[in-house]
Chain A
Amino acid sequence: MNRNNDNELFIKMRLKDKPAFDALFRQYYKPLCVFCYNILRDRSLAEEVVQEFFISIWEQPPLISDSVKSYFYKSIYNRSLNYIEKAKTRIRNEEQYSVQLEQDSESENSEDKDLQKQITNAVEQLPEKCKEIFMLCKYNEMTYAQVSELLSVSPKTVENQMGIALKKLRERLLPFFCRKD
């Protein structure tokens, strides 16, 4: 039902129907920002990437064969990765010290007593792939099947990585659980 509605909105949007564009924007802006934030870890950057994406689909509407939802997520995913690639090169070339700064602030965080922050921090330190999968399932409330499609990995991988994520998070946070009791 929702899916058909999205497709209809998308068709209208392709035909320069501004209210249809607005409807898609209102529906997807926030979840896409959250999704993008989980990859880029920067709120304003995430908003920028998602806004640029919406401008691009308005100006050059693509033909899509996926569902609108999965097309949106895939696009944001790719755009985020492109961004990281570019940023990596830039940082390597010019701003060595900014990396240093970020690491400093992270270690400050780890002294924080708040469990919430500890969890965030622990999630932050999961291995890349593992973190990504955990975030998609957890924050973006995707099913294993959706995550496996989006990242082009097998459902079994998603399952393994989710198990690993929980195991690592628990191990890391065990001291805090004990202190709480």
Chain B
Amino acid sequence: MNKEVPYEIIARILSGEASAQERHEIEQWKQTSDANRDAFDQLKMLWEKTSAIQFEPNTEKALETVSSKIGYRPKRISIKAVLQVAAIVVVIIASGVYLKYAFTPMRYQTFHTSVNQKKTIILEDGTSVSLNSNSTLIFPEHFNDSIRTVVLEGEAYFDVHHNPQQPFIIKAGESKTRVLGTAFIVRARSNEDEISVSVHRGKVAFSKADKKVILTVGEKGIYDKKSGTVIEKGNDNFNDLAWQTNMLTFVGIPLQNVANQLTEYYNVPVSIENAEMQKVKFSGQFYDKKIDEVLKTIELATGHAFLKRGNAYKME
């Protein structure tokens, strides 16, 4: 047996990892002797033959099994269903109105925004929901009588239509936000450690299981996913709402934080590299301005210039 078979390189070739250089080396190695060529052919055959061992599970059947286990029963005609249909028919005949929704299970709609996309949806109760980028809202086609429930992943501004008889609940991650009628922002990004609610108008109850805080205008509730705590604090970042109002406000904020907030708002990297400048405090307000205009104002105020590299801005 030839001890000098370069098994590792041949393995790389067979599994598609090899470089052109390596393939070339092996070609040459094959030419040097018949034994080498045989060895390569044997390995190649071995490799190809192994792929024939296959396992063909029945995906659709498995999906049916799994679906029924998670509560999505495959459609079967049961006596109950027949009675339900009969009941719907009776009701429709009797009342002539669209009561059939009372008998059909809740159906949900999904709205999703991609990166750099924002979308506003008006729900059937008049509540408006503005989704920030990369967010998803799930809501029933029809709310039931006692409660309005929606599910959010990402960030959204809610302006909830006032109705004390029918509270509005937002489920985001493990948190729940319960409101009567108000405007606020919920931020629940799966890649962040916190879920937060910032109130713009009215009053909101923000909770995780039995931990609950009541928030009013200008306050922010934060649920820390790691520690499982819910805290309440004054909102020092005025720009939670900026994506909604196009207004950026900074009141004595360190430039480092200003840069972070600009990065988030404009979705363009802005950084302060100079350690001293990071701590310099900045105040200013911008309404519907382009990033260049904002940065120019900061340059004038601080006497330091931003350098543009690609699409990123840096103050050195």
Q: Is A68 an interface residue (CB 8 A)?
A: no
Decide yes or no whether A76 CB sits under 8 A from chain B. Answer: no
Interface residues of B in 12-69 (CB under 8 A from A): 12, 14-17, 38-39, 42-43, 45-47, 49-57, 59, 62-63, 65-67, 69
Q: How many A-B residue pairs have CB under 8 A?
A: 129
A34 touches B55 (CB 8 A): yes
| B8–A26 CB distance below 8 A | no
Whether A138 lies near B8 (C-beta < 8 A) is no
Instruction: Determine if A162 and B11 form an interchain contact, defined as CB atoms under 8 angstroms apart.
Output: yes
The answer to whether A15 and B110 touch across the interface, beta carbons within 8 angstroms, is: yes
Contacts of B17 in A (CB 8 A): 143-144
The answer for the CA separation of A142 and B191 in the assembled complex, in Å, is 26
Closest partner residue, chain B, to A164 (CB atom): B7
Cβ–Cβ < 8 Å partners of A173 in chain B: 42, 46
Instruction: Output the least CB separation between B58 and chain A (Å).
Output: 9
A43 close to B138 (CB less than 8 A): no
Q: For B63, give its contact among A22, A119, A162, A164 (CB under 8 Å).
A: A22
Contact of A55 among B5, B45, B69 (CB under 8 A): B69
Asked whether B1 is an interface residue with its Cβ less than 8 Å from the other chain, the reply is yes
Q: Is the CB of A11 within 8 A of B136?
A: yes
A interface, how many residues as a size bin? Answer: 35 or more
CB-nearest residue of chain B relative to A162? Answer: B11
Say whether B70 faces chain A, with CB atoms less than 8 Å apart: yes
Contact in complex: B42, A177 (CB < 8 Å) = yes
Q: Which partner residue on chain A sits nearest B114 by CB separation?
A: A8
Q: Which 10 A-B pairs have the closest CB atoms?
A: A163-B8, A162-B11, A163-B7, A33-B57, A167-B7, A166-B7, A29-B59, A15-B138, A137-B15, A58-B70
